[in-house]
Amino acid sequence: MLSAKDALEQLQEGNRRFRDGEQNREALSDQARRQATAKSQEPFAIILGCSDSRVPAELVFDQGVGDLFVIRVAGNVVAPSQIGSVEFAAAQFGTPLVVVLGHSHCGAVSATLNELQQPTDLRSRNLQSIVNRIRPAVQGLLETDLRHNPEALISEAVKANVRASVNQLCNGSEILEELIQANRLAVVGAEYSLATGEVVFFDQI
């Protein structure tokens, strides 16, 4: 298994290939790899990302079957089921790296900002639960001058939401906390640009 630092570098290199159009186009369809991973898996990174159809983690990082343990949920929010999924992969497979992957112009973050500025009762309780998880991370931004600049507001809100999810993973699970303290797990935040295809990591290891 790679170290967290090596895993991060492998993701960065994969994203570079994706941006430059140099992907390994057989990685996700290789029959030998499918057979090799049929009975076991050793993913080198856990990706907690948004469900947005434009941000498929395996493609964005140019990785193949068995390389990534991917959890996708609107707004890359952290709820008990997401924490449990990360715990499972980190403890079961020894995966050393978690990446919380947000993306530019996230619809869930935009919906939360809209709800804070113009509350509505038309949202389903399930959608509202996503808004409620994003709300604490972005609410304070509306008390700054960013409220007058919608483009800058959504940009900073996406970053704030990613950082909040990283913080929840680092401080919301005894299992993950123990792995982090033992230097067996690292959790970092990142943002994918829909326009350029580049992933910018907020943290280094």
Count of domains observed in the chain: 1
pLDDT digit string, tens, across residues 78-122: 999 999 999 999 999 999 999 999 999 999 999 999 999 988 876
pLDDT digit string, tens, across residues 36-71: 777 888 999 999 999 999 999 999 999 999 999 999
- For residue 28, pLDDT beyond 90: no
CATH of the domain at 87: 3.40.1050.10
62, with CB counted inside 10 A (0-12, 13-18, 19+), is buried
Measured distance CA(125)–CA(131) in Å, rounded: 10
The pLDDT value recorded for residue 29 is 64
From 16-25, 110-119, 122-131, 133-142, the region with the lowest mean pLDDT: 122-131
Task: Say if CB 18 and CB 59 are below 8 A apart.
Answer: yes
> Which residue range(s) make up the domain with 104?
4-201
What percent of the chain is helix, strand and coil (3-state, nearest 5)? 55, 15, 35
C-alpha closest to that of 164 among 103, 76, 72, 86: 76
SS3 85: helix
H-assigned helices in the chain: 4-20, 31-36, 57-60, 80-93, 107-117, 125-138, 150-171, 174-181
DSSP at 40: -
Measured distance CA(96)–CA(31) in Å, rounded: 26
27 pLDDT band, cuts 50/70/90, is low
The pLDDT value recorded for residue 66 is 94
Question: What are 117's two structure tokens?
Answer: 């500025």
Span 115-144, average pLDDT? 90
C-alpha closest to that of 11 among 56, 62, 54: 62
- What pTM, to 2 d.p., does this model score? 0.93
The pLDDT value recorded for residue 73 is 97
